[in-house]
Structure 1
Amino acid sequence: MQQPVLVIMAAGMGSRYGGLKQIDPVGPSGQAILDYSIYDAHRAGFRRVVFIIRPELRGAFEQAVGQKASRLMQVDYAYQTLSRLPEGLCAPAGREKPLGTAHAVWCAHELVEGCPIAVINADDFYGADAFRRIYDYLAAARDDDKYRYCMVGYRVENTLTENGTVSRGVCTTDENGFLTRIVERTAISKQADGRIVYAADGGEDAGEIAEGTPVSLNLWGFTSSFVGELDAGLRRFFEEKLPGNLLKAEYYLPSAVDELLKTGKATAQVLKTDSRWFGVTYREDKPVVTEAVRRMTEQGEYPADL
């Protein structure tokens, strides 16, 4: 069996943040969040990483992150572009926005064929526990009558920012900890009275999320079967979802997984963690992340010269 590969989605436009947040320094010696993810992943057992980026970012990304990562892992690059699609598909005229996280992972299919993969966002600080859990799962996972996937689930209250709304895949699990449903909520926030709510979206009413509810931060674990399913999923997305919003509709990873769960093709074990998420969704988040990393460094969780 092939060893698990870490796949990092770093092609986002960063429009809310206002800059190339994927390589913005937050550590005491100028480290980016990505540097900590790679360090934690290597400690967990990963030895190869595939960065999904935009082609024009290659030089800056290689200099800021790739060269350092190559000291620990084999480094490869995949490119998410609107022209990179399954045969016969074509992006809508005038489209500029990327086609979503599931499309991003599909863009790496040639590099990860035959390998189990762990997928993460470039701008989220997941913590060492999450990487250990997902590596251990993938190292032992085997498909049988179903695809056997997993995800790390964070308590929703541990994943919010005080500076705006966040997007999260809100999860429902059964008594055995398997994911039964995941719904992408694109505008989650904490109110002054402590309630956690999400805004109306796509014809669905606004609602409330209970504390302790597991949510996805796009830390997924897939056996090698997943990238093949994404090809068919993209075709369905283009046929069924994209026509309703040609310039902005996106094919999300949670949606791709949810579809496989509903059709009975896959299971997804939710690996729960109480770890606190840190991320730079907005520029105002950066001081919070910087302070958190400083504390973890002082406590010995990470070396200052990581």
Structure 2
Amino acid sequence: MKPTLLILAAGMASRYGSMKQVDGFGPNGETIIDYSIHDAIRAGFGKISFIIREEFLDSFKAIFEPKLAGKVETDYVFQNYDLEQFGIDYKVERAKPWGTAHAVLAARNQINEPFCVINADDYYGYDAFEKMAKFLTTEVADDKYSLIGYQIDRTLSEHGSVSRGVCKVNEEGNMVEINERTQVYFKGDGVVYEDGGVETELPTDTRVSMNFWGFTPAVFEQSLPMFQRFVEKNKDNPKAEFFIPLVADELIKSATATFKVIPTASKWFGVTYKEDKPIVQKSIADLVANGTYPANLWS
């Protein structure tokens, strides 16, 4: 059974000021999602599931169906505010949905095979998809999940500090914990994070999570009670978000599942701010120039 690629694309991209999931970066207006899908198909994924807001369905279909028809199966999952579907019998007023792990839960009735989750607006590199596809077809189990571990110095911006989920990895190569460091940046030839005005150096090969996770459908049942508890606890906190690392942390601490950290040497890049766009365009132009991708991705 071929694995599925689940793409988190329901965010409205408030910081970016437009729907960056469908913004063009390649030589023929290709989106970052296009490159992820191209790499996933090449690596052996059989289905692409987009998690979107229902009102974007026509836009997404118009953009992706013509180029993907006959190449891979597509599916659309809607992330919304309806809590009843998760067995929660009250309403909570919020400006946006409940975060990445809530988005994954929204797919529980549409995914029946091993799958991985990525962000729509991040470039991950073919090596990462190839390694994840291998894990999802040969190793994954209901108590054995994974994430791709990027080298921290291959994920930073030249334009200031970023937040990164720094992974603590044991001798078996499994994640022990993940710590969100909110101010990570280059300093000289090294990398540091700042916390309370104190700088701490991080080895340049430190592994970080860029939200590229591998699961079986068992994660839906495992995370549903966590979400129910999270909503109950945070029903008066409109900004609380149920993130995938929260689920991973609870699964690890309860010994329900391990998370193998799969190292990749791929360079990650993404678009957080408008100023990042020319850098991403140049990175993709370089990948086209060196033959990693054809100039016209889907022709």
TM-score range, shorter chain: over 0.9
Q: Measured at CA, do residues 92 and 150 of structure 1 come closer, stay the same or move farther in structure 2, by a change above 3 Å?
A: same
1:252 paired to 2:243 = yes
Whichever residue aligns with residue 116 of structure 2, its letter is: A
**Match of residue 261 from structure 1:** 252
Q: Measured at CA, do residues 209 and 57 of structure 1 come closer, stay the same or move farther in structure 2, by a change above 3 Å?
A: farther
Count residues in correspondence.
Answer: 294
What does 1:81-92 align with in structure 2 at a 5 Å threshold? 81-84=80-83, 85-92=85-92
Deviations 1:55-87 (A, max 9, x none): 111111111234323342110100111125502
What does 1:163-242 align with in structure 2 at a 5 Å threshold? 163-185=159-181, 187-190=182-185, 193=188, 194-199=190-195, 208=200, 210=202, 211-240=204-233, 242=234
**Match of residue 3 from structure 1:** 2
**Match of residue 272 from structure 1:** 263
**Match of residue 58 from structure 1:** 57
Q: Measured at CA, do residues 290 and 130 of structure 1 come closer, stay the same or move farther in structure 2, by a change above 3 Å?
A: same
Deviations 1:193-252 (A, max 9, x none): 55422556xxxx976351221111111001221111121120121233x14x61101000
Q: 1: CA distance between counterparts of 2:199 and 2:3?
A: 37
Q: Contact between 1:161 and 1:189, CA under 8 Å: does it hold in 2?
A: no
Q: What SS does the corresponding residue of 1:109 show, helix, strand or coil?
A: coil
Whichever residue aligns with residue 284 of structure 1, its letter is: E
**Match of residue 289 from structure 2:** 298
Q: 2: CA distance between counterparts of 1:25 and 1:161?
A: 20
Q: Measured at CA, do residues 45 and 191 of structure 1 come closer, stay the same or move farther in structure 2, by a change above 3 Å?
A: closer
1:136 paired to 2:134 = yes
Whichever residue aligns with residue 189 of structure 1, its letter is: V
Q: Contact between 1:5 and 1:49, CA under 8 Å: does it hold in 2?
A: yes
Q: 2: CA distance between counterparts of 1:184 and 1:253?
A: 12
Deviations 1:126-158 (A, max 9, x none): 000000000000001253xx6110110001121
**Match of residue 31 from structure 2:** 32
Q: 2: CA distance between counterparts of 1:300 and 1:116?
A: 31
Q: 1: CA distance between counterparts of 2:271 and 2:89?
A: 33
What does 1:143-158 align with in structure 2 at a 5 Å threshold? 143=141, 147-158=143-154
Q: 2: CA distance between counterparts of 1:286 and 1:279?
A: 9
* Structure 2 unaligned blocks of 5 or more: none
TM-score, normalization by structure 1: 0.90
Q: 1: CA distance between counterparts of 2:46 and 2:76?
A: 15
Q: Measured at CA, do residues 18 and 199 of structure 1 come closer, stay the same or move farther in structure 2, by a change above 3 Å?
A: farther
Q: 1: CA distance between counterparts of 2:211 and 2:45?
A: 18
Q: Contact between 1:34 and 1:65, CA under 8 Å: does it hold in 2?
A: no
Q: Contact between 2:153 and 2:191, CA under 8 Å: does it hold in 1?
A: no
- Give how far 1:165 is off: 4.2
